[in-house]
Chains A and B, each alone.
Chain A
Amino acid sequence: MASLRNLAASLNPATSTDDVNRAESREIDASTKWPAIFLLGSAVVWLLIGTVFALISSFKMHSPEFLGDYEWLTFGRMRAAHLNAVVYGWSVNASFAVAFWLMARLSRSVLRHSGLLIVAAAFWNIGVTLGIGGILAGDSTSIEWLEMPLYATPLLFLAYALVGAWAVITFRFGKSQHIYVSQWYILAALFWFPWLYSVAEIMILLTPARGTVQALVNWWFAHNLIGLWFTSIGLGAIYYFLPKVLGKPIHSYYLAALGFWSLAIFYNWTGVSHLIGGPVPVWVQSAGIVASFMMIIPVFVTAINHHMTMLGNFDALKNSPTLRFIVFGAVAYTLTSLQGSLMAVRSWSEVTHFTHYTVAHAHWGMYAFFTMTMFGSIYYIMPRILLQEWPSAKLISLHFWATAFGVTLYVADLSIGGIIQGLLLNTPVLAHKFGLQEGTDPVPFLDTVKAALPYLKWRSYAGILITVGHVAFAINFVWMIVRSVEVTKTKLTLFCTPTDTEVAAR
């Protein structure tokens, strides 16, 4: 009963008597320790699992006989499993951790009842495990970005409700006078996600809408999952870590606000651009195209803001692992968004729609931007909750260079391959003009497959490189946690305040 009252008290700031003063950031960091470790730990596990699925699917793309006799390892299931493992396993776990760690810090409020948060995180991971197991076993829904079968959904909803509620509660308890731009992004994302997810689940899986309305709902959901959840969390992280690491406020807070609101207004219309030329009303397609174009505003505003903040501080990239990943992510955000706007143009979509070019675009956004930003955030968060440094600087460097180079190769390779495939597949007249084929009639379909094959092979090499980076990261991560258990006794740390260390040295 007492604990129930406790719980009630922790839901409402008005009934809380303690913590009248702002909490110290060390206290706040400490309060997030266990949920953060749990979420990030699961994220890393999913990252590795997702990477294995990715490699298998990539190999199968150019060597179809590879593991060809196993139904559960067939390409269609591997690809769906890969997508769900990296999206709902790695990315969502990581973004949960980063979101509520930032929320706690920015609201200057300690995290309450972190045990419940761990339970929520456990539910989420059980849900994702169930979902991916379901996909492998043959229960995939074949709805893009919603492949997990319905029976995994209630767990995910429950987990999300708890995590979301906890972030909002932390915000409400806040002692900060100001709502920082990162909080806008995170609050918005927390609010938008359940709306998107429940509408999609209801209108596609529970009571399917008629005909191609489903397709509209599907892409409204899937593209907004990227645009309103992952982009919001990613940009929120960049807006915090970039100035924080440099020790320099963001260049222009006005631009930050403009960037946020223009993103909020335009991004959520862009999903329809995945259906250009499809059997859905032309006016919706046009609306999606216009919105994709308007996205140039938030993207440029954000890019200018980040660049002006970095200006004169590029030396800091040498010193800070967080900054390297974050800046890489910020640059990738700009480029992938501009590419997205371009892809919505009807004549460009005619070439690149249905090709590997789209896959390159997705990895540019979800990996080069979002995942790299999460890596950067994790490099910042972990030392502060464990009060010790990362065990190996070499592994960090390896991680950065392997993934940065790997994903760049990946995107460049598949973009070129996708364009060639698209020209041959969709616009034979253009392909002829560029000397890719002799006549102006469509070439046999198999020729478009063969033309893409070398690029698919290079995609696998890029994937191997990225895998090397992930393994380095995972080793460093596990090593750090294992060592922290031992180190707590000896207090080897650079994150104490000077007074603490002076006391310790005496």
Chain B
Amino acid sequence: MDWFFYAVALPMAVLFLSSTVYAFCWSSQRGQLRAFEKGAESIFDDEEPIGKPTDFFPGKMPVAKTPVSKS
């Protein structure tokens, strides 16, 4: 299998690595990595902002957040 390693796997590995580096540079130049951490906040909005837990056991939802008493 030696020939295989040198003739095929090695060039492929080089190709793969360089395309990864290229893609990384490309995306970085297009500003896709700027403000990267902002992405983590994309699941929150005005309705359910950061700082508001959204899941509770039945009947355990804090009263302050939903001011109306349960019927």
Which chain A residues have a beta carbon within 8 Å of chain B's beta carbons?
24-25, 106, 176-178, 180-181, 240-241, 243-250, 252-254, 256-257, 281, 283, 316, 319-323, 379-380, 389-393, 396, 490, 492, 494, 497-498, 501-502, 504-505
7 residue pairs A–B, Cβ–Cβ below 8 Å: A106-B43, A176-B42, A180-B39, A245-B53, A245-B54, A245-B55, A498-B67
Partner of B59, one of A106, A246, A393: A393
* Residues from chain A with Cβ under 8 Å of B40 in the complex: 181, 243, 249-250, 252-253, 256
Q: Judging by beta carbons under 8 Å apart, are A249 and B55 in contact?
A: no
Q: Which of B36-57 contact A (CB under 8 A)?
A: 36-45, 47-57
Q: How far in angstroms is the closest Cβ of chain A from B28?
A: 13
Q: Which of B2-53 contact A (CB under 8 A)?
A: 36-45, 47-53
A283-B1, A502-B68 are contacts. A177–B42 as well, Cβ < 8 Å?
yes
* Residues from chain B with Cβ under 8 Å of A253 in the complex: 36-40
The 7 lowest CB-CB distance pairs between A and B, nearest first, are A249-B40, A389-B58, A320-B55, A178-B42, A501-B68, A253-B40, A245-B55
* Residues from chain A with Cβ under 8 Å of B52 in the complex: 247
- Cα separation A283 to B42 with both chains bound (whole Å): 44
* Residues from chain B with Cβ under 8 Å of A497 in the complex: 47
Q: Judging by beta carbons under 8 Å apart, are A24 and B47 in contact?
A: yes
A180-B43, A244-B54, A393-B60 are contacts. A254–B48 as well, Cβ < 8 Å?
no
Q: Judging by beta carbons under 8 Å apart, are B61 and A494 in contact?
A: yes
Determine chain B's interface SS by DSSP, over half rule.
loop
Q: Judging by beta carbons under 8 Å apart, are A380 and B60 in contact?
A: no
- Cα separation A305 to B48 with both chains bound (whole Å): 22
Chain B residue nearest to A319 in the complex (CB):
B56
Which chain B residues have a beta carbon within 8 Å of chain A's beta carbons?
1, 36-45, 47-61, 65-68, 70-71
Q: Judging by beta carbons under 8 Å apart, are A254 and B36 in contact?
A: yes
Q: Judging by beta carbons under 8 Å apart, are B53 and A316 in contact?
A: yes
Q: Judging by beta carbons under 8 Å apart, are A323 and B55 in contact?
A: yes
* Residues from chain A with Cβ under 8 Å of B56 in the complex: 319-320
* Residues from chain A with Cβ under 8 Å of B54 in the complex: 244-245, 247
A252-B37, A497-B47, A501-B68 are contacts. A390–B42 as well, Cβ < 8 Å?
no
* Residues from chain A with Cβ under 8 Å of B55 in the complex: 241, 244-245, 319-323, 379-380
Q: Which of B40, B41, B61 has the most CB of A within 10 A?
A: B40
Q: Judging by beta carbons under 8 Å apart, are A492 and B71 in contact?
A: yes
Q: Judging by beta carbons under 8 Å apart, are A247 and B66 in contact?
A: no
Q: Judging by beta carbons under 8 Å apart, are B43 and A240 in contact?
A: yes
Q: How far in angstroms is the closest Cβ of chain B from A312?
A: 13
* Residues from chain A with Cβ under 8 Å of B70 in the complex: 492, 494
Chain B residue nearest to A105 in the complex (CB):
B43
Chain A residue nearest to B52 in the complex (CB):
A247
* Residues from chain A with Cβ under 8 Å of B51 in the complex: 247-248
- Cα separation A498 to B37 with both chains bound (whole Å): 31
Partner of A498, one of B1, B38, B59, B66: B66
* Residues from chain A with Cβ under 8 Å of B48 in the complex: 25, 244, 247
* Residues from chain A with Cβ under 8 Å of B59 in the complex: 389, 393
Q: Judging by beta carbons under 8 Å apart, are A25 and B47 in contact?
A: yes
A25-B47, A283-B1, A498-B67 are contacts. A393–B42 as well, Cβ < 8 Å?
no
* Residues from chain A with Cβ under 8 Å of B41 in the complex: 249
- Cα separation A494 to B50 with both chains bound (whole Å): 19
- Cα separation A256 to B36 with both chains bound (whole Å): 11
- Cα separation A180 to B39 with both chains bound (whole Å): 7
A244-B54, A316-B53, A320-B57 are contacts. A505–B42 as well, Cβ < 8 Å?
no
A497-B47, A504-B68 are contacts. A319–B39 as well, Cβ < 8 Å?
no
Q: Judging by beta carbons under 8 Å apart, are B44 and A249 in contact?
A: yes
Q: How far in angstroms is the closest Cβ of chain B from A61?
A: 37
- Cα separation A249 to B61 with both chains bound (whole Å): 21
Q: How far in angstroms is the closest Cβ of chain B from A196?
A: 20
Q: Judging by beta carbons under 8 Å apart, are B58 and A390 in contact?
A: yes
* Residues from chain A with Cβ under 8 Å of B57 in the complex: 319-321, 393, 396
Q: Which of A25, A240, A494 has the most CB of B within 10 A?
A: A494
- Cα separation A53 to B43 with both chains bound (whole Å): 39
- Cα separation A176 to B37 with both chains bound (whole Å): 16
- Cα separation A393 to B55 with both chains bound (whole Å): 13
A178-B42, A254-B36, A380-B55 are contacts. A249–B68 as well, Cβ < 8 Å?
no
- Cα separation A180 to B40 with both chains bound (whole Å): 7
* Residues from chain B with Cβ under 8 Å of A501 in the complex: 66-68
Q: Judging by beta carbons under 8 Å apart, are B58 and A249 in contact?
A: no
Chain A residue nearest to B67 in the complex (CB):
A498
Chain B residue nearest to A254 in the complex (CB):
B36
- Cα separation A502 to B66 with both chains bound (whole Å): 9
Q: How far in angstroms is the closest Cβ of chain B from A78?
A: 37
Q: How far in angstroms is the closest Cβ of chain A from B2?
A: 10
* Residues from chain A with Cβ under 8 Å of B66 in the complex: 494, 498, 501
- Cα separation A321 to B61 with both chains bound (whole Å): 12
* Residues from chain A with Cβ under 8 Å of B42 in the complex: 106, 176-178, 180
